[in-house]
Structure 1
C-alpha cells in the first residue's frame, strides 16, 4: 500500500454545507481531456487473483487513459533491474509466467518458447485491444525507493539510472533469468509508453532504511530532467513520444522538503496522494482519504486532499498537471465504540483485513455487515461493522471528488489500485462518469 502519512482529515454528519472550492483560471480549465490513471500491482495476480484480463473483462480498460505497473526496483548500483527474489523482484510475474488461453486477455495461450510472457505480455495484448490506453512502468514505491536518493545524486548516476530503465523497459531488453527462455533483446519492446517515478519520499522519511538527503529536492528535479532528455532522444530515434509522470506526497511538510515546483516542467502530470492520511497506526479512528478537514477533527494535525492540492497550487504548480489520487481500499480500526457512529473513537488496533490487518479492498468492505455513513462536508465515507470502523471511498465520495477535479481545473484522477474494485468496475466507472 502507499506510505502512511501523518495527515489529518475528518467528517461529521452534523454538517450540511460543502466548503467552497478554489476557482481555477480559464487557462487551467481549457486543458484537454482528463486523465484517468489506475495502478496494476504486480503481486495482485496471486492472492487477489486479479489478472490483466480482468482489466479488460470488467470494462476498466475502456475507462482508463493510463495504467501504471507497480513496480520496478532500483538496485544499490542505481540501476533498474529484474530478479526472482522475495522482496527484491518478481521477474516470473513480470514476464516469465505463461498464461493459458482461458486466463489470457485475447484468449490465446502463451507458447513455451515465447520471448515475452507474464504480465508484460498481457499488457501488450490489452493495449492491442484498447489502442488509446497507455501503460507506464512505475519505479520505486514504498518498498523500493531505498536507493533512489543515491541514483539521483550526480549527473553520472542519473544518466546511468535512466539509461538502464529505458534499455530494459522501453527498448525491451529483458534479462534471461534462470532456466526461463523468456527475455532477451527487444523482448518487451512496445509494452511501455513511459515512466511513473514513485520516489517515496525525496528528502523525507519513507520506508525505514531509505537513503535520504536534503539535496534530494534539487536532485529530484535533475533526475526528472534526465528522464525527459533521454525519453525525448530515444523517442526522436524511433519516431514516437514517451510520457513521464510522478507520484507526489500530500503532506505539506514532505512537499516543502522534497518537491520543487520545477518538477512540473518535465512531467506530463503529477499524481497527488489522496489517501493513507490516517490509519490504524494511529489509535483514533479517522478518515483516510477525505477531501476536506472540518473543525471537528480531533487529530493534532489536520490535513486534507484539498489542502495538498492548494499547497501545490500556491507554490506555482499548474492545476492541469495535478491529478488527484483516490483509493480503491479502506483503512480499518478495531474495538471502536458506537459513539459518533464510530468516528474519532479510540481503538484497540487495526481491524482484521483479508490480506493485511488494518487494510481492506473496496470489494471486500462493501459486503461487510453494518451501516455506512457519508459526510459531504469532509467528502468521506465510512462503515461501522460491529466494532470495526472502515474508512474508504464509494461512488458518492467519488462523485464529489470528480466534481472537485473539474471545478479546480485539475488534470484528472489516479486510483490505487485496480485490484480493489469490483468485478463490474463500479469505482472506475464512477470516476469515468464523474469526469465525463
Structure 2
C-alpha cells in the first residue's frame, strides 16, 4: 500500500500534464454534449441499424456516440463481445448508411463499417468504444489490479479498438472508427452482475487505470496527431459513488463522465416508483431516496466539475404488473415485472407509445416524472415532455450535457432526441 501512496500521485501529476498537450485537449464543439449509446445487439430483434441513426435525425444531433459493448476476457484483455455484429456481418444497400451493399472480401464489415460511413457523413460526430456494461464487467477488477495488468489491458484495448487490429482481419482494418474509450465498469468495489470480481482496492485501482489510459492515449496522440476521449459511466447511488471512485481525481483524468440518471427504481422493488425523476417525489415512501438531484448534487459536492458532469436520460421505461389500483398506481405493491417485448419489466419508448391508448398518462411536474397506468400495469414514462424537462434541467444547472441509454428506444422520426436537444438549447 505504501508504494501506491507514493507512486500514484507522481503518475497522476504526469498524466494531468500530458493530458493538456494540444492533441489531448478535452474541449468539445460548441453547445452541450449530447451522448448516445448504440448497442451491438440493436440490429437483431429490434432491427435498429446504424443507418436508422441517420434516417431518424439522431446523428446530426449527437456530439458523441458510444458503441456498446466491448468486453474483457479472463486475462483482462479487450475482446469483441460479438464479432459477427461488430465487424463480420454484411449489409445490403438498403441497410447501409452509404446506400451501397458490402462486397465480399472488403477489409471491414459489420457495425464498425457502418459507423465509419456514419462518421464520413457526419464528420463532427465522435464515436467511442464502450467497455464493460452490466454483463461485461466481470474482469475489470483483475485488469486494474497491478501496474502490469493495467498496462497490458490498456495496450490491448488501444490495439484492438483504436488501432483497429481486429481478430481475423487485415492489420488496421478498423483504424479510425473510434475516437476514444468509454469505461462502463459496473461497479468498482460494489457488487454488480452475479460473478463479478469485486475488491475494496478497486477504488484506488480505478484511478490508477485511468492514469494508465491517459499515459498510453497521450503517447498515441503524439504519434497520430489526433486527440482521444476518455470517458466513464458512473453510478447514481451516492454510496456506490463514494465506495468506488476517487471523484476529484477521476474527473481530472476524464474528458467527461456520464452519471446514471435512471434505474432509480424498477421491478426488483416491491412497490411501483419512478425510475428517473429529477427530484424525489414528496410522497415517496422508500429509503434511501433516489433522484437525479440527489445524484448530481452528490457528485458536485465531492468536487465533480459541472462542465464535465453529463446526465444520463432513459429512452425506455420500467414497469410492474399486478399493481394495486390506488393513487393512480404510484407507490403501490405489485406482483412482478410487467410483460414486455424484449425483457420483462423493460420496454422501449417507441413500443409503449404504440400502445398508449391502453393507458392514462400521469405527471408530477414538481418532481419531474411521469407514468402510465391502466388499473393493473404501471410503466415509468419518459416522453418528449419529460425528456425536454431533463434537457432544460441540464442547461439550467450548467452541466456538461446529456447522455442517452439507448438510442434504439426512439421513434422512427426521432421525437425523443429532438425533445432533448430542444431542452438543452
Say which of 128, 152, 174 aligns to 2:120. 128
| Separation of aligned partners in 2, 1:184 and 1:75 | 22
5 Å matches for 1:308-323? Answer: 308-323=295-310
Q: Deviations over 1:52-110 (max 9, x none)?
A: 0000001000100111000000011110013xxxxxx2100000001011100010111
Q: Contact 2:388 / 2:421 at 8 angstroms: preserved in 1?
A: no
Question: Displacement of 1:291 after TM fit?
Answer: 0.9
Q: Is 1:113 the counterpart of 2:113 in the alignment?
A: no
CA distance in 1, matches of 2:30, 2:413: 28
Shift, 1:32, TM fit = 5.2
Quick one: distance in 2 between partners of 1:358 and 1:95? 31
Please, which moves more after superposition, 292-301 or 235-244? 292-301
Name the CA distance, whole Å, in 2 between partners of 1:156 and 1:204.
Answer: 23
Question: What's the secondary structure of 2:60's corresponding residue?
Answer: helix
Taking the aligned partners of 1:32 and 1:55, their CA distance within structure 2 comes to: 21
State the distance in 1 between where 2:423 and 2:170 align: 43
Q: Tell me the equivalent position of 2:259.
A: 272
Instruction: Give the secondary structure class of the aligned counterpart of 1:210.
Output: coil
Q: Secondary structure in 2 aligned to 1:103?
A: coil
Cα deviation, 1:31-50, whole Å, max 9, x if unaligned, reads 95210000001001000000
Q: Which residue of 2 aligns with 1:373?
A: 362
Runs of at least 4 residues off by over 2 Å: none
Are the aligned partners of 1:289 and 1:392 in contact in 2 as well (CA < 8 Å)? no
Q: Secondary structure at the match of 1:366?
A: helix
Structure ranking higher on relative contact order (CA contacts 8 Å, 6+ apart): 1
Distance in 2, Cα, partners of 1:417 & 1:386: 28
Match of residue 241, structure 1, among 221, 227, 238: 227
Query: Are residue 199 (structure 1) and residue 185 (structure 2) matched?
Result: yes
Secondary structure, in 3 states, of the residue corresponding to 1:160?
helix
Q: Which residue in the other structure is 1:27 paired with? A: none
C-alpha distance in structure 2 between counterparts of 1:103 and 1:317, whole Å = 41
Matched with 1:41 is 39
Question: Which one of 67, 70, 81 corresponds to residue 69 of structure 1?
Answer: 67
Match of 2:216 in 1: 230
**1:100 maps to which residue?**
92
Asked if the contact 2:329/2:375 (under 8 Å) is kept, the reply is: no
Q: Is the 8 A contact 2:163 2:174 kept in 1?
A: yes
Query: Could you give the per-residue CA deviations for residues 222-276 of structure 1, whole angstroms, max 9, x where no partner exists?
Result: 1111111111110110111111100000001101100111101111110000111
Report which stretch shifted further, 268-277 or 297-306. Answer: 297-306
The DSSP-based 3-state class of the residue aligned with 2:132 is: strand
Name 2:372's counterpart in structure 1: 383
For each residue in 1:139-172, what CA deviation from the matched residue of structure 2 results, as whole angstroms up to 9, or x when unmatched? 0000010000010011111110010000011100
Match of 2:391 in 1: 402
Greater share of residues in helix: 2
Task: Provide, for residues 287-323 of structure 1, a one-character-per-residue CA deviation record: whole Å limited to 9, x for no partner.
Answer: 0111110331011321111111100111111011110
Unaligned runs of 5+ in 2: 1-28
State whether residues 332 and 391 of structure 1, in contact with CA within 8 Å, keep that contact through their aligned partners in structure 2: yes
Q: Does 1:297 align with 2:284?
A: yes
CA distance in 2, matches of 1:321, 1:263: 11
Alpha-carbon deviations, 1:177-227, whole Å to 9, x = none?
Answer: xxxxxx220000010000100000010010011011111111101111111
2:172 equivalent in structure 1: 186
Cα 1:421/1:431, change in 2 over 3 Å: same
2:324 to 337, 344, 353: 337
CA contact (8 A) 2:92 2:100 kept: yes
Gaps of 5+ in 1: 1-30, 83-88, 177-182
CA contact (8 A) 1:272 1:322 kept: yes
Aligned-residue CA RMSD (Å): 1.0
> Quick one: distance in 2 between partners of 1:189 and 1:278?
40
Deviation of 1:386 after TM superposition, in Å, equals: 4.2
Task: Please show how residues 73-92 of structure 1 align to structure 2 within 5 Å.
Answer: 73-82=71-80, 89-92=81-84
Could you say which residue in structure 1 is the equivalent of 2:14? none
Rounded to whole Å, the distance in 1 between the matches of 2:408 and 2:391 is 20
Classify the secondary structure of the residue corresponding to 2:136.
coil
2:12 maps to what in 1?
Answer: none
- Residue 413 (str. 1) matches residue 402 (str. 2): yes
